[in-house]
Structure 1
């Protein structure tokens, strides 16, 4: 009798232990005595660190080789770290790691989840802008021009325009885009009349040679006048000392000052900015202009796009969606942005009319 009671008590205790483990979502301890809530501490710490980098990337110092700009250029790719940590957490059967992963998942979703949502339906007032660094080594400028025009944009912004390719772009685009202005190696083609076209000085101080990579013009669209800026900021280089972005950052500051002084309320900026919208080096622009609300559109390098350094931004307008177009003969992918002008922009100031910029 006593023996049967002892056996029954032992069975009940075992049943309670199994029920408790199921209720707690745990599994038996491993060979080292660690439960699902105590193993996987390294994975949990890595998850917390990933969440901190996503949330507080602006706190990372940008000295000694520019680690912050490098991090911010590839910030969306931290999502792959989250996926890897999830796989390892499942493999380790670590409840601790899986719960900790909720932090970077929430941070990534907050920062980038909205880009993956469907864009609103196109409106009658929308403008389409195509931005493309066509590459000075492009062997098929005619094919590139036809591909860009095939997207049916209102404005086409190009960089790295060099002779004799420039003449090919002008000839190929002329039938559908009769208005154009080219300043140095950047150009703007438009379906709508352009006035006030001229160069924009964004040259860093230490560049002494001939360097013209910015322009401004006024596009007279059916929705009113829009100041259009086309730019190509200096490249960011990796060297023995780390990331060299001082020229790009200085040029961005000059461009930001020009945008801040712009008298027209509506502004569209298109260009190869050699930086992503998360990069603090572009703060003088992203602090004054709206960036794309939908779309990822990694544009560089064309063979395996890792980042969008080709940007379309706007003021007194919303960049509702940005997307990439098929590859051309360039090392960049073209991007197309849909822009919805605000219905009631602020009162525009006067602009000096210097005549149409036409064929």
Structure 2
């Protein structure tokens, strides 16, 4: 039977590199079936005697037990990730308020060094006194990123998403004990104080197995459940989810913004196209008007051509008559010449007769 989302531990949201911190946290050094073994550990982690002869607890119950252990009241949430984020913030508020004034100042100073503005730090710090519900989305993101990177740093791991965010200067790994105590809890505070300067995982284990095993084998864990490891693991995957949700939302918002910009461009282009449509219609009207004029002129030309042909025909007729007249003139001139010759001949004859 498929488990309800509120019952399932949120391991599937983690990438393989994200899971390495949890594997090392619970001593799952052998790579064989690490994920399956981790799935078996978590439902019994907060139970006495490692859950021996006890039923597993689901994720919702797990969060409730952590909240009760820390005297935190959780509101009702429709979605598991909302309840998870609320508990995560309230645990931070509790850890932060347990710091000394000096440690709080060091924590805030560290935020300034990492590049946060006064407004951003105010947003992050404000909720520790007035309630976690007032924490802004950006501030939760910063807090989550720092938490994940501190926990990963204990186990000498680099989280994959650190390199794919513009927030890298803010969430870079810190080894400040006050910061570790505020965001990861007392257990990590003790680890950082004892192991400040440790450079690799082997050295960390060699220096003392006591702190490492403190996450798993303590008298309290046997009697009441291993809440230290439970809280550390919870903060780790909760911070990872917050980071992933924030970044996904940022990407979605950016995509929506780009889409809106493209839609606005499309709207502008459509409006511009409408203007061109109007101009094209104007040209079409002008062309139609000119075409009408052309047809009128064509008709007029046809009429003129008919008139021209009639004139040509009439001219040809006149030319023919003219030619006939010319022929008559030539015939008359011939007769005149004949008569003239005859006249001369008669005049000469007459002249001779008179002599």
The two structures have a TM-score, normalised by structure 1, of 0.21
Look at both structures and tell me which one has the larger radius of gyration over its CA atoms. Answer: 2
**Which one has the bigger strand percentage?**
1
Give the structure, 1 or 2, with the largest relative contact order (CA under 8 Å, sep 6 or more): 2
**Which one has the bigger helix percentage?**
2
